Amino acid sequence: MEQLPANDQIWNRRLIHMLWWILLIYEVAAMLGFFFEIYKQPNKWFSSFMQYQVIPTCSQLSLMAAGYATIRLLKPYSDFILIVWTMTAASIYILCIPELRISYELISLPILLSSVYFQKKHIWFAYILGSCYLIALIICQAAQGHATTPYQIIVPFTVITVTTIVCFTIMDKGLHLINQLQSSVVREQDLLIRNVMIDRLSKVDALTELFNHRSFQEHTDHLISHMPYDTPLVLALMDIDNFKKINDTYGHWVGDVVLKTIGCTLKDVLGNDDMAFRYGGEEFAVLFVGKTQQEVMVLCEQLMQIIRETEIPEMAGQQLTMSLGLAPYNRNTMKKAWFQLVDECLYIAKRNGKNRIHSHLSE
């Protein structure tokens, strides 16, 4: 099973903050105990102050300083340094506080903390280190004349061993959930990509890479419903002149070249606010948004001229032309009537000799 990257600096900072909070909580508790001790045994306040306040605090502060310095010098090993740090902090409390003299189970806490790295080697390191610290603490207690029963040795070893097993179980479960989450994210990303591709295929013409007739209807409805009232909207319909003759003379594949060429020309000439569509067959539609009638006519003339000057190598000597009809949108007119008006303008341009623009603007 895949493990998470080691040397997690974010968790290390949080663990250091936790150690400071533990020290602060201990100081508050020790101070309260010190006041009770003064009240009960006023003559022994100094020894109590040294035993519960000064010695543990100075030891922990020294450990903090040593921990910061070691992490700065050996930053790649900061995970293991923090495990040693927390294990030593727990041992200091066990040695300095008589009430915790045989509370060796506290050593299991650093083992639990090692599981946050989700690395087996960290848990094994904490377990081996905890066993060594436990043996050292038992030896220290014996050297101070404190008797230790076999029960007091077996129980802590059992606790840290069980704690280690629990850590491995938690880590395996966590990694399993992480792998499931990663697999779920990958599946969702694949599904999103497929949906985007399907949506694109349903809205974009594969040959010209322009939006198709369905997109034209949707975009037109959206503009009519949402654009500001005073924003001008002009529709242009254009049709390739003699396209059937081109297909019959040069072949349908040349007709495809012509369609693709005109699609590229439309994308190059039109502005960012305008949108071109392959309306159907050899017909194209353009929606001009926010442009005056004069600006639309200039753009259409420019487009027609570029198409006239376009040379198709497969149609040597044959000029490519288009007929174009256009009309502005009137909010007092139904969309269907507007389309019919533009279509009529295109029909007039065809009837009057093709290769020209007929605009309802000029009528």
Sequence-separated contacts (24+) of 142-150 with Cβ below 8 Å: 146/101, 148/102
Within 8 A by CB and 6+ apart from 26, the residues are 56, 60, 93
- pLDDT class for 362, splitting at 50, 70, 90? very low
Q: Are strands 233-240 and 283-289 parallel, antiparallel or unpaired?
A: antiparallel
Look at residue 163 and tell me whether its pLDDT is greater than 80: yes
Residues in Cβ contact with 83 at an 8 Å cutoff, skipping those fewer than 6 apart = 110, 113, 114, 122, 125, 126, 129
pLDDT of residue 293: 86
Residue 164 confidence (pLDDT) above 80: yes
User: Are the C-beta atoms of residues 129 and 89 closer than 8 Å to each other?
Assistant: no
What pLDDT is recorded for position 282? 92
pLDDT at 117 over 90: no
* Residue 31 predicted with pLDDT over 90: no
Number of CB atoms found within 10 A of residue 274's CB: 18
Residue 72 or 241, more confident: 241
Q: Is the pLDDT of residue 363 over 50?
A: no
d(CA 116, CA 137): 26
pLDDT, average across residues 83-109: 82
Minimum mean pLDDT range among 7-21, 82-96, 198-212, 328-342: 7-21
pLDDT in tens, 311-322: 888 888 788 999
Going through the chain in order, the beta strands assigned E by DSSP cover 233-240, 275-280, 283-289, 322-328, 357-359
* Paired residues of 287 in beta bridges: 235, 275
Share of the chain above pLDDT 70, in %: 91
Q: What is the pLDDT of residues 185-228, one digit of tens each?
A: 888 888 877 776 676 667 888 888 898 988 899 889 988 888 88
Q: What is the pLDDT, as a whole number, of residue 7? A: 53
The whole-angstrom separation of Cα 303 and Cα 262 is 10
CB 326 within 8 A of CB 334: no
Q: Give the confidence band of 1 by pLDDT, cuts at 50, 70, 90.
A: very low
pLDDT at 320: 92
For the chain, the average pLDDT equals: 85
Q: pLDDT confidence of 44, banded at 50, 70, 90?
A: low
pLDDT of residue 45: 64
The pLDDT tens digits of the residues spanning 317-346 come to 788 999 999 999 988 888 899 999 999 999
Using only C-alpha atoms, the chain has a radius of gyration, in whole angstroms, of 41
In the prediction, which pLDDT does 35 show? 73
